[in-house]
């Protein structure tokens, strides 16, 4: 897993909450967290979901992310003081405790580029699940080829940023058919002074059979495959693979 300026650079990280709104994935995770005494948000980013889960009930919430700039935002947000924030790698972090629910949202699973890294992340989930706990994560369906929407022509938009003012934003993209890895650029040009902030990111698009095999190897079992965060069942045309499951019972 590579260091990504999109999340590590404080100026770029400051765009995350502006570009992303509360959506169905957070609603789904809040519903799953009902009755849970503990939740682990693995790849918590700016901590929006973790802080909300900690605020709405008396539960222990941990947020783990490798990006210090994202965690700085998480700690400063309202309710951030109720979450235990940990800077850590999803492949190797071990917190020494288990949770009723482990979530990995925002397609964060796709930063693990190889089957070996994906298996390591899944083993991290398994290592932190309580015997009756559940896990859920999302990964884009490669059959949909969503990366085709990330060209400069289709992605260009203007942002009204609270700190930078008007900002022109766009992406570009490259797909490696041999590896399935997509490399995309993120660009923000600040209108007031012309300054350009940019990053290049790499993500994987593992197919469902690969995910199924790795989930089993990690000691996990899937109860339901969802096709989106509203709860629709998975089909080959679904935009996402979303497994909802538990520890594999021997």
- 108 φ, ψ (degrees, to nearest 5): -65, -25
Q: What is the pLDDT of residues 184-240, one digit of tens each?
A: 999 999 999 999 999 999 999 999 999 999 999 999 999 999 999 999 999 999 999
- 107 φ, ψ (degrees, to nearest 5): 60, 25
Q: What is the pLDDT of residues 10-62, one digit of tens each?
A: 999 999 999 998 899 999 999 999 999 999 999 999 999 999 999 998 999 99
Residue 228, CA distances (Å) to 2, 55, 88, 146, 148 in order: 27, 26, 28, 14, 19
Kindly list the domain boundaries of the chain, sorted by start residue: 5-142+206-247, 143-203
Contact 190, 197 (CB under 8 A): yes
Q: What is the pLDDT of residues 116-155, one digit of tens each?
A: 999 999 999 999 999 999 999 999 999 999 999 999 999 9
Binning pLDDT at 50, 70 and 90, where does residue 249 land?
Answer: confident
- DSSP assignment letter at 234: P
199: nearest Cα among 159, 160, 172? 172
Q: What is the pLDDT of residues 153-191, one digit of tens each?
A: 999 999 999 999 999 999 999 999 999 999 999 999 999
What is the SS3 assignment for 126? helix
Domain range 5-142+206-247, CATH class: alpha beta
Q: Find the helix or strand (DSSP H, E) in which 74 lies.
A: helix 68-76
What's the confidence (pLDDT) of residue 154?
Answer: 97
Over residues 83-100, mean pLDDT: 98
What's the confidence (pLDDT) of residue 192?
Answer: 97
């Amino acid at each position: 897993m590579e260091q990504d300026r999109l999340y590590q650079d404080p100026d770029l990280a400051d765009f995350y909450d502006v570009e992303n709104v509360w959506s169905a994935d957070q609603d789904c995770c809040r519903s799953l967290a009902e009755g849970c005494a503990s939740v682990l948000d693995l790849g918590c980013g700016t901590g929006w979901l973790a802080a909300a889960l900690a605020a709405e009930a008396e539960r222990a919430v941990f947020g783990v992310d490798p990006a210090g700039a994202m965690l700085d935002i998480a700690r400063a947000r309202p309710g951030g003081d109720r979450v235990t924030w940990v800077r850590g790698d999803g492949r190797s972090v071990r917190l020494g405790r288990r949770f009723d629910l482990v979530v990995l949202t925002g397609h964060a699973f796709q930063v693990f580029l190889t089957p070996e890294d994906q298996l390591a992340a899944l083993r991290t989930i398994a290592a932190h699940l309580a015997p009756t706990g559940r896990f859920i994560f999302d990964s884009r369906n490669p059959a949909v080829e969503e990366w085709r929407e990330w060209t400069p022509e289709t992605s260009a938009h203007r942002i009204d940023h609270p700190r930078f003012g008007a900002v022109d934003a766009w992406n570009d993209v490259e797909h490696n058919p041999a590896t399935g890895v997509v490399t995309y650029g993120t660009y923000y040009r600040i209108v007031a002074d012309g300054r350009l902030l940019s990053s290049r990111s790499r993500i994987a698009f593992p197919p469902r059979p690969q995910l199924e095999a790795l989930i089993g190897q990690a000691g996990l079992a899937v109860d339901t495959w969802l096709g989106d965060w509203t709860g629709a069942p998975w089909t080959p045309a679904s935009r996402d693979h979303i497994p909802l499951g538990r520890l594999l019972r021997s």
